[in-house]
Structure 1
Amino acid sequence: MTKSMSVRCPSCRREHRYLPPQYPCACGAPVTVSLPPTSSPVSVRHRSWADAWTEVACQVCGRNGQWPQAEFECPCGVTVRLGPGDARTRSAAAEGGERPPFRPLTIRTGHDAVACAAQFLRWLGFPGVRTAVPRPPSGVDLHGPSVVGLVNAATEPTGAEDVETIWLHALVEPAVAVAFSLAGYDRGARARADELRLPLFVLDLTGTPQPVNEAADVLMRRGAEGA
């Protein structure tokens, strides 16, 4: 949870309790600008668009975003801005030790299914997940520094061959392999995934991934760090 800090106005010397605001990342995680206790408040005399914003990165998905600088209006009439120190950011979820609730992405097309799965992997803690639409010859729909993913948006269940394909790609990377499917998995795919301990998720049209096997349950509980 974000904690408030004591800040003294550099003009009138009045002391304030300042609570850094949280900003909504596209992945659903709230982020705040990291303000060390030694941060020095300054008076804003001349405002400019460039100075009013700062770039911060979400610690859940790694996405960089432009957010307002940490500042407030003192009753004396001065705008007080707090320097971000080393400019590192932290996720409110990471501070509390828990991930925020996943925000589903409604699925209307195959592209939506891939985007939803990518967002879900970022939510689990895999940074830099990229999507590939249409599917490349490799059969890998999602690719990140530590994860590869298969997304089957067809109306037929995913088979064992697709499961083995994404698993082999994960061996080469090396990376964690994860599979998503709109129509579920046939018996062969489930059995093979259990042998390989490969997480299987099924997607519904609301964009809420549901774990299908034990490996997926474990990934849901532990996130990327426990994969």
Structure 2
Amino acid sequence: MPLLQAHTLLFDMDGTLVDSTALVESTWADFCGRHGLDLAEVLAFAHGRPTRETVHRFVADAPLAAAETRRLVAHEESETTGITAVPGAAALLAALGPGSWAVVTSASRRLAEVRLGAAGLPVPELLVSADDVTRGKPDPQGYLLAAERLGREARETVVFEDSPAGIRAALASGARTVVIGACADHDHEAQRHPDFRGFSVAPADPSRPGVTLTVPEPVAGGRPVRR
């Protein structure tokens, strides 16, 4: 199997480490029902973006949008039905050393902690959430901030993402980008894998500091590994 080398690994959460699809879709379906909106259109915009941005995109009245955001956030932070880890994610994270990985998510910190816990995944030492940025994905601010806090350049990291907005954010940051899941909305150097099965931490190589992963071959439509 090929190797993938990076100083640090940065992971999106929803859809990448955590499968929250059913809960996310039911939450936005209720929102659409209250406001007479098309669910497919809302989901297409919402994937990878902070809740507040999606609400303000579809609800013009500012006080109503603020109230809806509070309502949705409260529901998301209290409901964990159907939350599971993406296959292979738990084993991969367990094999990574402290400080070698971080999460960059469009969720709030509280929601990220709830969903990681519900999926049986650890909370990393560094978690960059929607609370930490002023511009959400597809803006690269979150990934640039994570790299800065780790004392690295973004180009020294590998980002794992699943949504078009997240993929654009990762690529814009200059990070090498790996797509997890079914999204085919990517070009450049992004490779694609259905999940983390087949990924493993390679034996340490003193001449190559950081993290070395053995990875399966990308699925059709993906790109070869950049060594």
**TM, length-normalised to structure 2:** 0.28
| Structure with the larger helix share | 2
> Which structure has the larger Rg over C-alpha atoms?
1
| Higher strand fraction (1 or 2) | 1
- Higher relative contact order, structure no. (Cα contacts within 8 Å, ≥ 6 residues apart): 2
